[in-house]
Amino acid sequence: MPAHTPDTTSVASWVADATMAPSMHNAQPWLFHYAEAENELRLLMDATRAMPRSDPSGRGLHLGCGTALFNLRVAAAQAGWEPRVRLMPEATGPETLAMITFVQPVESDEVAELYPAIRRRHTSREPFSDEAVPPALLDGLRGAARAEGARLDLPGDWQVEWIQQLVWDAEFEEGLSQAVREELARWISGTDDDPRTGAARPEGIPLYALGPRRYDGRAPVRDFAGGRYVEGRGSAVFEDAPCLAVLGTREDERKDWLRAGQAMERVLLQATQDGLSTSLNSQVLEWPELRRALRDPVSGAEYPQMLIRLGYGPEAPDTPRRPLSEVLVII
Ligand SMILES: Cc1cc2nc3c(=O)[nH]c(=O)nc-3n(C[C@H](O)[C@H](O)[C@H](O)COP(=O)(O)O)c2cc1C
């Protein structure tokens, strides 16, 4: 056994923090294996939670696992450990996404400061107010993405209109594809209760987190109800000129998706720390032609990975997570 290793209780609590991360449709496509004797924590993908119709390449799945990895780094740093991460290490199977070892003492790691935001961050599908996000905060968020090797672009007015158009196109495509709608429904309908046991399901998007129906306004907030009536769900006016950001990477391989996920979570935690509400939208990214159209029209160089909405709004609710016993194996 290496001279100094974290105890399993600590590692388990960091993994619990990791699982607070956002994931596509709250599928939580991650597994963790900790070998205490080797001081090695593996992050694996859980392919049973893949979405072959909406995410055939697994890009969204990798993004979700990247967000969990970032939370894990923050939690370990906050506890005084330095997590050393190797992405997609050689000589492991394709399902191993990262190998992490922990060393002490930690060099002072600024990400530790984001720890309180891990459990405060939620996806908010509520309307945001018209209050502008101060440029200094937006600069800070750009820096957060850059620190993780990604880029956060803040489109101007006409580009925001273009993005809104692309989201409507994606909604239209989604409406036409029965296969996509069925896949989506698996993560939404009945998520409040497991029909077999009557217990609350620990995954998927619960009806209480859908937010109101759009009565008016143009902010690109996905309506997961897909036109279905949901009891008690009101309607609201969303912002017309939302503050949007596009997270992008220079390349588009599996490692880049994992980096993008870490960058996304760093941006979201920083935004939460700054008192902002956030929501994500991947509809455009789920259709290759629309995703291409979202590339920077000037340079065309970046691969867009996520559309992020920022602003001031009401606090959003917690969503369920799988119990630790289902996602962590200690060897
Ligand atoms: C790759 C990815 C794609 C996502 N796409 C959307 C989306 O299109 N619309 C949306 O409202 N939320 C989207 N989300 C947010 C998830 O639905 C959300 O993280 C999940 O339901 C858990 O809720 P929480 O973020 O409040 O913890 C996405 C998240 C990830 C990681």
Burial bucket for residue 233 (CB in 10 Å: 0-12, 13-18, 19+)? middle
> Which residue, judged by its Cα, is nearest atom 2 of ligand 1?
24
pLDDT the model gives residue 297? 67
The low-confidence residues of the chain, meaning pLDDT below 70, are 1-3, 189-199, 297-301
Half-sphere exposure of residue 212, counting CA atoms within 13 Å on the CB side? 15
Q: How far is the CA of 2 from the centre of ligand 1 (A)?
A: 38
Check if 123 has its Cβ closer than 6 Å to any atom of ligand 1.
Answer: yes
pLDDT at 190: 56
- Residue 294 falls in which region: left (phi positive, over 0), alpha (psi -120 to 50) or beta: alpha
Does residue 159 sit within a domain?
yes
CATH no. for residue 93? Answer: 3.40.109.10
Is 148 found in the same domain as 78?
no
Q: Is 261 within a domain?
A: yes
Domain annotation covers residue 127: no
Clarify whether residues 140 and 110 are in a common domain: no
Residues 83, 150 share a domain: no
Domain carrying residue 113: 8-120+322-330
Total number of domains constituting the chain:
2
202 and 307 together in one domain:
yes
Q: Do residues 271 and 215 both lie within one domain?
A: yes
Does ligand 1 have an atom closer than 6 angstroms to the CB of 278?
no
- Decide: 281 in ligand 1 pocket, CB within 6 A: yes
pLDDT at position 202 is: 93
If asked whether residues 202 and 242 sit together in one domain, one would say yes
Give the DSSP letter string of 139-153: HHHHHHHHHTT-EEE
Structural domain includes residue 3:
no
Confidence (pLDDT) at 140:
98
The answer on 214 and 113 residing in a single domain is: no
Q: Which atom of ligand 1 is nearest to the CA of 261?
A: 31
Q: Are residues 175 and 270 in the same domain?
A: yes
**Residue 279 in contact with ligand 1 by CB distance below 6 A:** yes
Predicted TM-score (pTM) of the model is 0.96
Question: Is the shortest distance between the CB of 54 and ligand 1 below 6 Å?
Answer: no
204 and 301 together in one domain: yes
**What is the predicted pLDDT for the residue at 55?**
98
pLDDT given at position 296: 73
Q: What is the enclosing helix (H) or strand (E) of 96?
A: strand 96-103
pLDDT at 196: 60
Residues 21 and 86 in one domain: yes
